[in-house]
Amino acid sequence: MSFVQVEFLGFFLTVFALYWAFPTVKLQNRVLILASFTFYGWVHPWMLALLAAVTLVNYGAGRAIVARPEWGGRIVGATVALCIAALCGFKYFGWFVEAFAEVLPDSVRLLRVGLPLGLSFYTFHNLAYTIDVHRERVKMEPNVETYLLYGSYFPQLVAGPVERPSNMMPQFNTPRQFDVELVRSGFGLALWGAFKKIALADTISPYVDAIFAHPDPSWAMVWAGALGFTVQALADFSGYTDIARGTSRMLGIELMKNFDHPYMAATPMEFWQRWHISFSTWLRDYVYLPACFSPWVRRYVTLPFTGEWSPFWHTTRALFITMLASGIWHGSTWNFVVWGLYHATMATIYTAILAKLPKKLKKQGGWRWVTVPLQFGVTVLGMYIFREPLLSNSWARLQLNPFDGSREQWIVATSMVGLCIAASLPLVAAMSFEKFVLPKVERAPWLLPLQTTAWAVFAIAVFSSVRTTATDFIYFQF
C-alpha cells in the first residue's frame, strides 16, 4: 500500500481509531504489528514471508549475541551476509539474467523476480539493530512482539527513514497517551508531505520524464530537465518522509528528521548531512567508519609505499568505498556507479581545497552566498547523472553547444525553469516561515487561523492535483 493511494486514508483512519481505543502499550503495539503486516501484504501477501524472515533473523541474532558474546562478531557477519545476499538476490536478479542470458537455462532465464517493496529499507533498519547490539550501543530486545514492531513498523517500512533501535525501542516500550497537540501537528506534517508529493512532485514529473525521453534535446533542455528532476526528487522524497513522520506522530511515535533543506548546503559533506539523513548516517556508521577504523583495515591497509596510516588517505578511500556502495545499491545500471564516484570525487576535491583555504575566509559573511549556489550546481549535475540511465547520453548531452536550439526547444527549457521556480516557491516560503517567522509568532493569536487556512489550501491543492494514475514515490524502486 502506498501513502498516496485512496485506500491508505481508510486504512489509517481505522488503525488510528483502533489504536487509541486500546489503553495499554501491549495492545497498542499489537494493533500496530497487525496494521504493519496488513499494510505490507496488501498487494502481494507472499512478501510478508520475506519481511517476517528478515525481522526474525535479526531478532534471533540479537538474542544469540547476548547468549554467546564471544561469537558476536561471527553472528553479526553471518546475519549481515545472509540479509545482504537476500537483498542482492532480489535486486540484481534481472541484471544477472540479462548479463548471462546466453549460458543460463530457460528455467532461470524466464523467471521474473521483482524487488519486493521496501526490502532495502527494512533490511538496513533491522541490521542496524543487530550491529548495535554487538557494539553494545543498544540493549537486546527480549520481547518478540516489540521487536516485530521495530522490524515492520508501517509508517517507515517501505522507504524509511531508516531508523535506529536507540530511537525506536524506548518509544515502543513506553506508555503512549493520546495528545491532541501531537495529532494536530502530525496531521499538518502529513498534509504538507502529501502536498509536496502530489501537488509539486507529481505535477513536474511528466514534464521531466518528457525531457529525459526526448531523443534530441538542446543543451538548455538538458539542464532544465536536470533542474526539474532536482526539484521533483526533493519534493517527492521529503514529501514521502513527511507523510511517514506525520502519520507516525499521530500515533505518538516520533521518527527522525530525514531532510534538512539539502539545497542550502555549502559543501558536498554538508549536503549529505542534510539529504536522506537517516541513510547517510547509516552508511557513515556501518560502512564508512568501519572502512576507516576496523582492526583489519588498520593492520593491513596502509599508505602506498610508506606503510603509514594516514587520515586523508583513509578517509578518501573510505569515502569512495561508501559512495560506490551507495551507487551500486541504487541500481544495476552504470549511471549509479558513476553517480557514486562523482559524489566521492566532489567530496574529496572540496575537502582538499577547504583544508588549504584560510579560516577567516570561510567565516566571512559572503562565504555561503558563493558556496551554496556552487554546491547547488554540483547537486544538479549529480541529479542529472542519477536520472539518465544511459551514460553515453549523459556524456553526449553535456557536451552540447549552450547556444544551439530551436525556438520550440528554448520555449520548452524556459517553461521547465518557470515550473521549477513555481514549484520551489512553496518550499522556500515554508523554509523561510519556519526559520524566520515561526520562532517570533509561536504564541500569536492569528497563528492557528493561518495554519488552518494553509491546511485548507494544501488539501484543495492535493485533491485538485491528484490523478487516477498516481505515480509511485521515486525511492520505492530502491
* Contact residues for other proteins, defined by CB under 8 A: 132, 134-137, 164, 166, 267, 269-270, 272-273, 284-286, 288-290, 292-295, 298, 311-312, 314-315, 318-319, 347, 351, 354, 359, 362
Q: How far is the CB of 69 from other proteins (least distance, A)?
A: 13
Q: How far is the CB of 197 from other proteins (least distance, A)?
A: 28
User: Whole-angstrom Cα distance, residue 22 to residue 332?
Assistant: 46
User: Whole-angstrom Cα distance, residue 373 to residue 241?
Assistant: 25
Q: How far is the CB of 138 from other proteins (least distance, A)?
A: 9
Residues in Cβ contact with 281 at an 8 Å cutoff, skipping those fewer than 6 apart: none
Among the listed residues 173, 70, 66, 174, the one whose alpha carbon sits nearest the alpha carbon of residue 130: 66
Question: Do residues 73 and 84 make contact, with C-beta atoms less than 8 angstroms apart?
Answer: no
State the cell numbers at 442: 509561536
Q: Which is nearer to other proteins, 214 or 257 (CB)?
A: 257
Element (H, E) at 330: helix 311-330
State the cell numbers at 144: 518478540
Q: Which is nearer to other proteins, 239 or 268 (CB)?
A: 268
Cell 491528484 maps to which residue? 466
Q: Which is nearer to other proteins, 74 or 135 (CB)?
A: 135
Q: Which is nearer to other proteins, 247 or 322 (CB)?
A: 322
Q: How far is the CB of 397 from other proteins (least distance, A)?
A: 32
State the cell numbers at 186: 502530525
Task: Note the helical H segments in 177-310.
Answer: 180-194, 202-213, 219-250, 268-274, 277-283, 289-293, 295-300
User: Whole-angstrom Cα distance, residue 358 to residue 280?
Assistant: 28
Q: Which of 125, 276, 314, 330 is catalytic?
A: 330
Question: Do residues 150 and 169 make contact, with C-beta atoms less than 8 angstroms apart?
Answer: yes
Q: What one-letter code names the amino acid at 36?
A: S
Q: How far is the CB of 372 from other proteins (least distance, A)?
A: 15
Cis peptide before 161 (omega within 30 of 0): yes
Other CB atoms closer than 10 Å to residue 139's CB: what's the count? 13
Angle (CA) 68 70 76, round 5°: 80
Q: Which is nearer to other proteins, 119 or 291 (CB)?
A: 291
Annotated catalytic, 44? no
Q: How far is the CB of 293 from other proteins (least distance, A)?
A: 4
Q: How far is the CB of 284 from other proteins (least distance, A)?
A: 5
Q: Which is nearer to other proteins, 98 or 136 (CB)?
A: 136
Residues in Cβ contact with 239 at an 8 Å cutoff, skipping those fewer than 6 apart: 193, 194, 195, 196, 197, 198, 200, 201, 473
Q: Which is nearer to other proteins, 217 or 268 (CB)?
A: 268
Residues serving a catalytic function are 330
